[in-house]
Structure 1
Amino acid sequence: MSEKLFQVMKPGLLTTFQDLGRTGYQEYGVVVAGAMDGFSLQIANLLVGNQRDEAGLEVTMMGPTLKVLKDAVIAITGGNLSPRVNGQPAPMWKSFAVKEGQLVEFGQPLEGIRSYISVAGGFDLQAVMGSQSTYLKAKIGGQNGRALEKEDILYGAGNVQAVTGRALHYNAIPAYGKELTVRVILGPHQDAFTDQALQTFLSSVYEVTPQSDRMGYRLKGPELAHEDSADIISEAVPLGGIQVPANGQPIILMADRQTTGGYTRIATVISSDISLLAQAAPGSLIRFKEISIDEAQVLAVHTDNFLRVLELLVM
């Protein structure tokens, strides 16, 4: 039976419910969506005893104020947006209890730009095409297909026995800096670029612009020249694909990316680096480093094995 857990006193800049995405429907034009920083969401869920893919709240830049309506166990992970409970600093990367009547709030972003809130037992949400993720443009998933609004009531899935004090070891907590190196696989359209453009791409610094959002990170830096045209026959696009339109400025496709695209892609960000990239604020500086597919696969397996081991330890 669902229970009232939180009342939204302030919604924050952009607070939505996200899980790991609406997969399997891109061929029908349905966007994947899901958490921008899937690693942090999965850790938050494991710390409160949920399945890794349970939906949680994705908090962007300026967080909400939530009034606790029923005692619960929560975890906050991802970017440090100065979480507080009744005015006192709240722990991050650790499960802890909140009591009826308390206020969960956020302050100044200190590191990263996206936090994740999971609650033991999960939130009571309707799934759309197998996912509870919010996709704002289609108005599906989450809280009536939209971001949180003032006076919303958030429901929990029911009574659970949860353990407090579960914490991720400090050595495993990601560091979110203002400068980051993002590893990529070149292609699939590197032949569409000049040799100089490829060298420029791998040797230059690009800045994340304020026009970046859940759909894509627009970058500003040295222009990447095409051999001929920036346009291709529209084809499926992956998470982390780096499109380069005619202006020569890269766009990294993120969680709310379109299902197909008609611009050349110079490279693709490896899956293990997407979560770090998702925490990059406007003004952050990015360098790209080429690695092999074999290296990328080893890193992906390492990340998944880490989460699987953690899952066995806490479930």
Structure 2
Amino acid sequence: MSVRPILRILEAHGGATLQDAGRHGAMRYGITPAGPMDPLAHATANRALGNPLGATAIEVGLGGLALTVEEAPLDIALAGGAFRIDCDGRPLPPAAALTLRPGMALRIRAGRAGAWCYLAVAGRLDVAPVLGSTATHTRSGLGGLDGRALRPGDGLAADEARARLGEPAALVAPWLDRSPEAIRVVLGPQDDYFAEPEIAAFLARDWTVSPKGDRMACFLDGTPLTHAKGHDIVSDGIAMGAIQVPGQGLPIILMADRQPTGGYPKIATVIGADLGRLAQAQGGTRLRFRAVSVAEAVAARRAEAAALEPAIALEPVIRTTFSSEFLLGRNLIDGVVG
């Protein structure tokens, strides 16, 4: 029987969970789908390894993560925001793939941009699904490892593991270079709760992403909107990307861990292809919204799917810098001459 690699968590500072494509089909029972905040980056990390696009991966937030592998080597891939990633002190691109060998330490830390990073493994993480999904929803304690975030000491075994990549390589995935400034939306379903000037103001104003956001919602700061027909509706279902406007007038965008229903009018909904761009916006980021048709939203989603159809090319990483951490960890003296 072959030895299974085990990913061992060395450091975890909150915000690191296991996520597959999400727990879909159960919202009518009040169960949140969860799943990745940036579905495109999550799918890209899996695609780079030949996995199903919705396979279970580790989602890492701004708190960062450090891990190693035990027992056997394992191919991994990383994709997401512009995080600072290094392996044994060697800097890696924010989108990369490599063979992680026993004893090697991989560190993922917040960088200049982006809020989420995804680490996929070549094979399948041995995690029991709950209601058909391994996606972690910490508020209800469903999925992942007992419904909680990863902790130091956790071990994640990989079945059907592969270790073929060797040295680090950069993923050729230009679709990950996304600016968050113009987020496309489809107006509604309750845009009739706002007068035309308020809808125009919603689209024309600059909004600032609040640092208090999390996996449940993105909060926006700016000039409040005014309702024309009150701020309460009969509660209805909430899609990921729905933009609610509560009584105080500042938009709230519901994300992966959203509640199943809500009773505030929704002025617009972020299109699927732009959900990751929004999710990757750190606190303080300024953005605007642009209204598009349903047809344009569908076309953008199809283009996103088409980008992931071919195998993702890999480019070797040429080492041009050597950190002090890397250099001090090696014996660089070949001999001493008197």
TM-score, reference length from structure 2? 0.87
Deviation at 1:167, TM superposition (A): 4.9
Distance change in 2, residues 1:299/1:108 (3 Å):
closer
Q: Which residue of 2 aligns with 1:81?
A: 83
Aligned with 1:105 (options 102, 107, 120):
107
Distance 2:301 2:308 in 1: 11
**In structure 1, the residue corresponding to 2:28 is in which secondary structure?**
helix
1:252-271 matches, within 5 Å, as 252-271=253-272
Q: Which residue of 1 aligns with 2:177?
A: 174
Distance 1:159 1:300 in 2: 31
Distance 1:80 1:68 in 2: 23
Q: Which residue of 1 aligns with 2:326?
A: none
Distance 1:224 1:216 in 2: 18
Distance change in 2, residues 1:65/1:168 (3 Å):
closer
Q: Which residue of 2 aligns with 1:190?
A: 191
Letter paired with 1:249 = L
2:41–2:176: 8 Å Cα contact kept in structure 1?
A: no
Deviation at 1:24, TM superposition (A): 0.3
1:209–1:283: 8 Å Cα contact kept in structure 2?
A: yes
How many residue pairs get aligned? The number is 311
Letter paired with 1:47 = A
Unaligned 5+ residue runs, structure 2?
Answer: 315-338
Distance 1:234 1:159 in 2: 45
Letter paired with 1:115 = C
1:48–1:163: 8 Å Cα contact kept in structure 2?
A: no
Q: Which residue of 2 aligns with 1:272?
A: 273
Deviation at 1:171, TM superposition (A): 3.3
1:86–1:103: 8 Å Cα contact kept in structure 2?
A: yes
Distance 1:185 1:162 in 2: 44
Distance 1:162 1:145 in 2: 32
Distance change in 2, residues 1:196/1:2 (3 Å):
farther
Deviation at 1:4, TM superposition (A): 4.5
Distance change in 2, residues 1:90/1:308 (3 Å):
same
1:74–1:97: 8 Å Cα contact kept in structure 2?
A: yes
TM-score, reference length from structure 1? 0.93
**In structure 2, the residue corresponding to 1:302 is in which secondary structure?**
helix
Distance change in 2, residues 1:30/1:231 (3 Å):
same
**In structure 2, the residue corresponding to 1:266 is in which secondary structure?**
strand
1:12–1:65: 8 Å Cα contact kept in structure 2?
A: no
1:146-185 matches, within 5 Å, as 146-160=148-162, 162-163=164-165, 167-169=170-172, 171-175=174-178, 177=179, 180-185=181-186
Letter paired with 1:295 = E
Distance 1:197 1:28 in 2: 35
Once the two structures are overlaid, the 10-residue window that deviates more, 102-111 or 11-20, is 102-111
**In structure 1, the residue corresponding to 2:186 is in which secondary structure?**
strand
Once the two structures are overlaid, the 10-residue window that deviates more, 126-135 or 82-91, is 82-91
Distance 1:36 1:288 in 2: 19
Q: Deviation string for 1:238-267 (max 9, x for gaps)?
A: 111100001000001100111111000000
Once the two structures are overlaid, the 10-residue window that deviates more, 261-270 or 88-97, is 88-97
Distance 2:95 2:211 in 1: 28
**In structure 1, the residue corresponding to 2:17 is in which secondary structure?**
strand
Larger Rg: 2
Once the two structures are overlaid, the 10-residue window that deviates more, 150-159 or 239-248, is 150-159
Q: Which residue of 1 aligns with 2:240?
A: 239
Letter paired with 2:143 = G
1:20–1:34: 8 Å Cα contact kept in structure 2?
A: yes
Deviation at 1:168, TM superposition (A): 3.5
1:120–1:162: 8 Å Cα contact kept in structure 2?
A: no
Distance 2:124 2:311 in 1: 18
1:219–1:250: 8 Å Cα contact kept in structure 2?
A: yes
Deviation at 1:160, TM superposition (A): 3.0
Letter paired with 2:305 = D
Deviation at 1:140, TM superposition (A): 1.2
Letter paired with 1:214 = R
1:2–1:158: 8 Å Cα contact kept in structure 2?
A: no
Q: Deviation string for 1:272-293 (max 9, x for gaps)?
A: 1001111011111110001111
1:62–1:109: 8 Å Cα contact kept in structure 2?
A: no
Distance 2:193 2:110 in 1: 43
Deviation at 1:2, TM superposition (A): 7.9
2:5–2:74: 8 Å Cα contact kept in structure 1?
A: no
Unaligned 5+ residue runs, structure 1?
Answer: none
**In structure 2, the residue corresponding to 1:309 is in which secondary structure?**
coil
Distance 1:95 1:4 in 2: 17
Distance 1:167 1:90 in 2: 8
1:1-315 matches, within 5 Å, as 3-69=4-70, 70-160=72-162, 162-163=164-165, 167-169=170-172, 171-175=174-178, 177=179, 180-310=181-311
Q: Which residue of 1 aligns with 2:318?
A: none
Once the two structures are overlaid, the 10-residue window that deviates more, 32-41 or 150-159, is 150-159
Distance change in 2, residues 1:170/1:299 (3 Å):
closer
2:5–2:161: 8 Å Cα contact kept in structure 1?
A: no
Deviation at 1:63, TM superposition (A): 1.2
The 4+ residue runs of structure 1 with deviation greater than 6 A are: none
